Amino acid sequence: MPRPVKNSNSGIESNPLTRLCEKLHQHVPGLHLWAASLYHSNRPPLLTEVILTQPLRTPPSVTRHVQQQQFMVRGETVYGYTTAPCPLPCDGPAPRVMRHTGQGHAEGEPGDCEQCGFLVGQILVELGVGGTGSTTSSPRPLQYRDVFILTWVNSLHDAKSDASGQVTRPASGVLRGVRGAGIPVTVLQPEDEDGVRDVATMAGPNHVIATDCGVVQGLERKVVVWVGGLDGYDAWGRLFAASRCTSQLVLVTPPPREQSDTSRDDDSDCN
């Protein structure tokens, strides 16, 4: 994804990454060290900054959505994309937008809504996720592990039970809804290092992965579902989530607000 605009940071000299780079430079002659997806404020002085802003993995339909996010529109925090030297042969599928509003939808955040989850599950079924076709065919059928369901600040949670097996807190509504549509989902927690490793290597159970954007930062999936929220960090999450998508983007958004919001798009609703 595009990199944040550079800003000064007086503490960069004491940054652990800076100290590591300095020691490596001192003890390993001729070392060439590269760092990607690094915030400018954390860049060690020994590293030369090169800005790469041409989208390489996301289709144009998703790239346009990323460019609509307010951080890129204002150009203050994130650099905008450069124009590709030649158009790609395929625009890619248009993002599908579903509003958390209307009959059957629960009050509160989209992540708490079982109806939103069920509709997301239906979209995944329509896309053929989990199909039984040959894995050696081209293109390969979409597997469940080809899908991310992403939120911001880890707002999705699985069911919790006490020692007797009594459920003390049900799973987030959107997870119950997706599972109700027949889609297997695993919730990945930030502290689950083995789980993060499995997701990075496409190992582990063939399940849809639901987690916070930051847990899988740098990883990509063919289908990314963004479950938005009502707080001020929603635009950040959408920026990170959309830039992880290499094919079909699905957006679950709160009801439209009265005031204009540059982070919204003009795609039609899916209710």
- Residue 161 and residue 31 in one domain: no
Domain that holds residue 10: 1-52
- Residue 20 and residue 121 in one domain: no
Task: Report yes or no on 213 lying in a domain.
Answer: yes
- Residue 6 and residue 96 in one domain: no
Question: How many structural domains are present in the chain?
Answer: 2
Q: How far is residue 45 from each of residues 3, 21, 25, 132, 162, measured CA to CA in Å?
A: 17, 9, 12, 51, 51
User: CA angle 205-210-213, nearest 5°?
Assistant: 125
Q: What is the pLDDT of residue 118?
A: 95
- Compute the mean pLDDT over every residue in the chain, rounded to the nearest whole number: 80
51 has a pLDDT exceeding 90: no
261 has a pLDDT exceeding 80: no
Task: Report yes or no on 269 lying in a domain.
Answer: no
Q: What is the pLDDT of residue 8?
A: 44
Task: Report yes or no on 270 lying in a domain.
Answer: no
- For 83-105, what is each residue's pLDDT tens digit? 767 777 778 899 999 888 888 89
pLDDT confidence bin for 138, thresholds 50/70/90: low
Give the CATH number of the domain where residue 163 resides: 3.40.50
- Residue 104 and residue 225 in one domain: yes
Task: Report yes or no on 127 lying in a domain.
Answer: yes
- Residue 2 and residue 104 in one domain: no
- For 222-236, what is each residue's pLDDT tens digit? 999 999 887 656 777
Among 124, 119, 149, smallest CA distance to 270 is for 119
Do you know the residue count of the chain? 271
